[in-house]
Structure 1
Amino acid sequence: MSRLLPPERLHPQVRALPDVTGPIDPARLDEQRRAVADNTPVEAGAGVPVHHVEDVDADGVPCRLYRPADGPLPVIVYTHGGGWVDGGLTSHDPLCRLLAVRSGAAVLAVDYRLAPEHPFPAAPDDVDRAIDWVRSSGAALSLDAGRVALSGDSSGGHLAAVAARRSRDRGIEVRAQALFYPVMDPAGTTWGDVVFPGLKAPNLRWCWDVFVPAHVDRGHPDVSPARGDLRGLPPTLVVTAEHDILTTEAEGYAAALAEAGVSSVTFRAQGQVHGFVRRLARFDAAHAAVDLAAGHLARHLSA
């Protein structure tokens, strides 16, 4: 039987909000997607001003480019969360704006194809295509293709981790990655029986099932990033939430990177729950987490 988390364990800013996360209704997925986008101003605010923002076509992949200044800029390729089935340019616009301003780097937000309409490997292939576009066409937009980093939250953290390894294997240098509570284990072996606010295990299992169809090998590192060869991956920051079913697997990935000789640092936000980083208008911890990621990425992207 599942055990409820005692309310006093949560940060007061989390405790002040009702946990309204219910089961996913596949028949109403489009409605859920619209609701997430429509609620972004309430959850994340309007977003900080950025010097220049434009939507671009990255070789067929819709993306949004945030440039905090003129001149050649390093690039952070950002992959949004949402269980591979939700989220997009609107839901993560305030977060990407803040990351660009705080890091001083351009941020390329990737609007990858979503499941269940487009299951694996559509999303990771789209991320690879966006990275290749930066390398081939970024100079026209004053992007420095030699200084690229990756970042993402939740399922987007999973896609960023996959892209980091695939880039290494393709001979593409990635300077660093910053991952917010990334999804790592399709088997859910560490989720436990405590019910935290926000992300629920049944919903995550459903997301895994529609993202990775039954015929796909879930042991492949493109699905389970921690199972691959981790040597030579870029310096990594992993930010987790204390009360999140993904914390153990995310921190396990960071530990495995360190064992493989990769520079790896983990920070756990006390009292916080899954998804807190995107909710910039709700949680002070969100701003602190973005500052950590921006500093980590800026340091490794500096010339």
Structure 2
Amino acid sequence: MDAGRYGQRRLPVRSDGASGTLMDGEAVPGGGLGMPLSLDMRERIEALIAPLRSPLSEYGFANLWLFRDRHDYRFVDGDLPHITGRTYDGERHAMPLVSIDAEGAARLLDGVDCLYPLSDDALAQAGFDVRWNDDDADYVYRAEALAKLDGAKAKRAQARAFEAEQAPVAEPLSDANLVSARTVLDGWLADVGRDPDMTDLDACREALARREALGLDGLLVTTGAGEPAAFLLAGTNADGSRVVHFAKGRRVHAGAYPWMFARFAATCGAAIVNFEQDLGKPGFAQAKRALAPMGQLRKYRASKRGGA
């Protein structure tokens, strides 16, 4: 698969000019009513997302649920189902949950800044302004390469050193070892030394607690001496790729991260692993690039030309 083209798929275009309605809740753009996300919406939203087979990390219920407060996500059902929310840089957006035509795009854009995230720039041909922000782009990896840390010389060396020094063990995350994962999370917070409100601590705690309800699974890494060292939580995206939502580890075991990522990639059952975006943070970008991604997936934003 060509890394430069992966994910640049065109959403199928509908010819029926479907419009939106309709749940009890607060008024939102497109003539509909939006409701805050709830767990009982998972089946409906996943059924809508599945035919799109979008590779973007937002197109999974777990991602939407866990960051519902951060982005003020609301669900609008009806004949033009969509999610409304706010991007990390503050733009109010609508996220289509079905394929749309130009008329549907125009209706969704009433009262929002943009449609986002879109996996291609097809709406540019219909007269819309289409742009992207590199900070939004997902990092994607071939699982086969990540399992061997191919192209990631420094990370491979770290993983080998960790394996030689600690004789680590990886096991599926479960109720039986959840306490150990929470111990890692608490230690990670102490290591980073930041205000919890400035981190994803709460979302990660919720993901651990609700992992089965959200369709998440993961790995816990312990040293040979039984010390919890790292864990990750991942979901499955609409296109079958695996999306790593959280990865936490203790600073004293720097090699635990690449060792864990390689083990996960080798056993995840997918060809592609998505590590989400870097949010424009240099540390995140450096860490993701050091693992030798196959490429990045742009997330396009479409808006009415000239702000009309």
> What TM-score, normalized by structure 2, do the two folds share?
0.28
Q: Of the two structures, which has the highest relative contact order with CA contacts closer than 8 Å and spacing of 6 or more? A: 2
Larger Rg: 2
> What TM-score, normalized by structure 1, do the two folds share?
0.28
